[in-house]
Amino acid sequence: MKNLAKFLLFVLVVSAGISLLYDYRLKHGGLKLPSGRTPEKYTLASEPSVDSKQVASLEALNRERRALIKSVVPSVVAVKTSKKIGVRREYGLDPFEFFFPNQRRSRNPNDEALVQNSLGSGVIVTNEGHIITNNHVVTDRGGNPVDQIEVQLSDGRTQKARLIGADDQVDVAVLKIDDPGVKPLKLADSDMVQPGDFVLAIGNPLGFEETVTDGIISSKGRPNRSDFFADLLQTNAAINPGNSGGPLVNLRGEVIGINTVIASTTGGSQGLGFAIPSNTVRMSLESLLKQGRIIRGYLGIQTRPLQPGQNSTDSEGVVVDGVMPGSPAAQAQLQPGDVIRKFNDHEVTNIRALRSMVAQTELNKNVELEVLREGKPLKVTTQIKEQPVDYQTTGVLPRGNQPQAQNPRQPSDEEKASSPLASIRVDELTPEMASQLDLPANVRGVLVASVDPDSGAAELQKGDVIEEINQQPVTSVSDYNKIAASLDPSQPQVLSVCRHRIRSFLVLRPR
């Protein structure tokens, strides 16, 4: 035992000596690294540059933001879809891969079909497992449902989801998974949202799951080109492809909107994101769950904006151009030329506001309209009815009931030359052409036939559909010419454009 103890003591002394010698040579530059380079002397900072007491409020904000994100992320899902597509192959070339190299498609080994995959986002909104996403996430470019839908939960589990129903006018779809342990988020009252409110956008942009970006509500009441019944919330929270269908949440972790579209010249985020307000989403959700289909109220009128000084001291209100026989408007004895100022005590600021209020009104409910008739105020009452299946959502009356319109004035050659859109040639959008281009059924606008490549409108492409110019609907070439001729060439113009099944805003700036 004594010999063993002496041996162990000897080993310890030798080890200590070697360690001391190594430290000495290291400090005095005598030790060389395998590469021949002498190790650098360094000292890491041991104290933060700012005392935490000086930024206590920011530290508290950090903790609160972490708590908010931790509470909402488990309710957000990735929506993965697949669609089998039959293609005609010649000489071994898949035409889809030629024209759309960035889309993911895989070959089914059992046949000659290809499988197209896509990715979006969604949010759980009921204890029963109902999920809100965008309709365009679960349909192909022709508006047809995909073959298979899967959702991936935040814990990594993947489940099959079934499509309960969709509202293509609002771009909302309702999915369902069978999972009793889901955590839903509450749908807030989006009418209470104000510009400047703090928001988080959560989703799967470009396939990066559970991505959180923050920002504020930039504006509200932005026109939605695919939805004639509700406007959009605008946010500067970064939204990119793949965020579609994900939630926009407030400080309380409530859903105030469903992210749906971006305005971009590059295809990526430029701080111009748009979300469907939660009140509009709730209307579609409850209609689908309670009735099994989308039910909207309607008034049965054709309208046009009120011009300043027309039967009024200001420009707020909507002018009745025509009344559909047997409609709620006919029951109220509305007449062409009437100016609708209020709907159930709510100010009617424009056509979209009126459509939204009418569409979201409970069916068979009595409503009061305040109108101006030949400059005199008048109150009428009617009962909102369900919108007929064949009633155009644009408010166009059936043939034979449309008021006779005067021949529109054609712009002069000088007006065309000075217009910022003079470099664009457009044609009427026919049903045949819309079908050929696989456009959504609710697209209304003019078809871009050609664009001068040297103009400021070069980002437009042949085959694009211009639906609006500066929030003014474009339904014909005549509309387009009149609006284009009235534009100030020194100001930027905002176009609402549909390309295939993707809708976006395009800003044309003066050159």
Quickly tell me which residue has 């400047």 as its tokens: 196
* Run of H or E including 97: helix 95-99
Distance (Å, whole) CA 508 – CA 202: 30
SS3 211: strand
Verify whether residue 75 is a known catalytic residue. no
Q: Count CB-CB contacts under 10 A for residue 60.
A: 10
Identify the active-site residue in 167, 171, 231, 338: 171
The CA distance from 510 to 504, in Å, is: 20
Distance CA 135, CA 145 (A): 9
> Per the structure block, which two tokens stand in for 354?
């009126």
Euclidean distance between CA atoms 272 and 264, whole angstroms: 7
Give the position of tokens 């909207």. Answer: 296
The DSSP-derived string for 306-341 is: PPTTSSSSSS-SEEEEEE-TTSHHHHTT--TT-EEE
Sign of CA dihedral 441, 444, 450, 455: negative
477 to 53, 85, 237, 438, 481: CA distances (angstroms): 65, 35, 36, 21, 6
The helix or strand, by DSSP H or E, that contains position 58, with its residue range, turns out to be helix 56-72
Beta partners for residue 215, in sequence order = 199
- Find how far residue 302's CA is from the centre of its chain: 28
Which of 136, 226, 284, 504 does the annotation list as catalytic?
136
Could you confirm whether 244 is annotated as catalytic? yes
Task: Report whether 213 contacts 270 (CB < 8 A).
Answer: no
Which of 117, 149, 148 lies closest to 133 in space, CA to CA? 149
500 included as an active-site residue? no
Cβ(487)–Cβ(420) under 8 Å?
Answer: yes
Closest to 185 (Cα-Cα) out of 140, 138, 132: 132
CA distance 407 to 273: 39
- In the 3-class helix/strand/coil scheme, how is 400-433 assigned residue by residue? CCCCCCCCCCCCCHHHHHHCCCCCEEEEECCHHH
End-to-end alpha-carbon separation of the chain, Å?
96
The residue from 82, 118, 244, 327 that is catalytic is 244
Contact between residue 85 and residue 94 where contact means Cβ atoms under 8 Å apart: no
Burial of 52 (0-12, 13-18, 19+ CB in 10 A): exposed
H-helix or E-strand spanning residue 504: strand 502-508
Give the catalytic positions in this structure.
136, 171, 244
